[in-house]
Amino acid sequence: AQSVTQPDIHITVSEGASLELRCNYSYGATPYLFWYVQSPGQGLQLLLKYFSGDTLVQGIKGFEAEFKRSQSSFNLRKPSVHWSDAAEYFCAVGALRGNEKLTFGTGTRLTIIP
Amino acid sequence: EPEVTQTPSHQVTQMGQEVILRCVPISNHLYFYWYRQILGQKVEFLVSFYNNEISEKSEIFDDQFSVERPDGSNFTLKIRSTKLEDSAMYFCASRGPGEQIEAFFGQGTRLTVV
């Protein structure tokens, strides 16, 4: 069965500092990987996705993520965070062939301090 | 930009009452999903729907739940007799055909059962 682990429940970083959010997945086939962001009381917004090709993918809002098959990881990074990046971040995996579902991690809450 | 819309944004209902959560997916999309997120927890898959029938459902999606696409545009989730533990944020998502791999999520309906 597919699963996603986000080992960090809560991360606090200073504004302007770099950020890395960890994501490890378990999936029996070639995974499609996603990062979604959820601001308080809001829906899920797609930050970026990976399904093939270059293992470093660029997303919106200056985020990037790197797929490492050997480590079963898809970590999210940003070189310099802004106060508006404070939110909950969810990693998800799914083949999305046919009608397959997404499986989400438990999320990482990001707090930005001035 | 096309988006998935959900109504209402917040619904309060008494235990035992029926509720219908409504979603309008993106117009050319073919695959439809409901997910839920209990407060403070991860996003969980409920059901997927394609070609006017359920493709997959989770253990959460018991006989109290049903989905329908009554008119080719709306996609509804009905909970026949709500329980306190049904209180959650419910997200509708849709996905396009073929190589359009990402799912687009609505803003969610917060259901509170009292």
- Summarised one tens digit per residue, pLDDT across range A15-43 is 999 999 999 999 877 788 999 999 887 88
Mean pLDDT of B5-34: 95
What is the DSSP secondary structure assignment for residue B66, as one 8-state letter?
E
Contacts of A34 in chain B (CB under 8 A): 102
Of the candidates A46, A99, A105, which has its C-beta nearest B31's C-beta? Answer: A99
- In this structure, chain A runs to a length of 114
- State the Cα torsion B9-B36-B107-A6 to the nearest 10°: 140
The shortest CB-CB distance from B45 to any of A51, A101, A105 is to A101
What are the tokens at A15?
Answer: 């504004």
Question: What's the whole-number average pLDDT of chain B?
Answer: 92
Given a contact cutoff of 8 angstroms between Cβ atoms, the answer to whether A63 and A23 are in contact is no
Partner-chain contact A43 B45, CB within 8 Å: no
* Alpha-carbon dihedral angle through residues A108, A77, A63, A41, given to the nearest 10 degrees: 10
- Identify all chain A residues contacting B105, using CB atoms and an 8 Å cutoff: 36, 43-46
Question: Residue B53's closest CA among B35, B36, B30?
Answer: B30
Residue A92: closest C-alpha in chain B: B43
Mean per-residue pLDDT over chain A, rounded:
92
Reported confidence tier of residue A93, pLDDT bands at 50, 70, 90: very high
Dihedral sign for Cα A12, A16, A18, A21, please. Answer: positive
Residues 52-91 in B contacting A (C-alpha not used; CB under 8 Å): 55-56, 91
- Nearest residue, CB atoms, A104 vs list B42, B95, B106: B42
Most A CBs within 10 Å, among B24, B49, B102, to test the A interface: B102
Q: How many other CB atoms are there within 10 angstroms of residue A12's CB atom?
A: 11
pLDDT of residue A97: 65
> Is 90 exceeded by the pLDDT of residue A95?
no
Structure tokens at B28: 């050319």
Q: What is the pLDDT of residue B28?
A: 86
Peptide bond between residue A7 and the one before it cis (omega within 30 degrees of 0): no
Query: For B60-105, what is each residue's pLDDT tens digit?
Result: 999 999 999 988 789 999 999 999 999 999 999 998 877 667 889 9
For residue B108, list chain A residues with Cβ-Cβ distance below 8 A: 42-43
The pLDDT of residue B102 is 83
Which of the residue ranges A21-25, A51-55, A104-108, B51-55 would you say has the lowest mean pLDDT? A51-55
DSSP string, A59-99: -GGG-EEEEEGGGTEEEEEESS--GGG-EEEEEEEE--STT
8 A C-beta contact, residue B106 and residue B5 = yes
Instruction: Name the pLDDT band for B40 (thresholds 50, 70, 90).
Output: confident
Residue A86, burial from CB neighbour count under 10 angstroms (0-12, 13-18, 19+):
middle
Report pLDDT for A98.
62
Question: Looking at the predicted structure, is the pLDDT value of residue B34 above 70?
Answer: yes
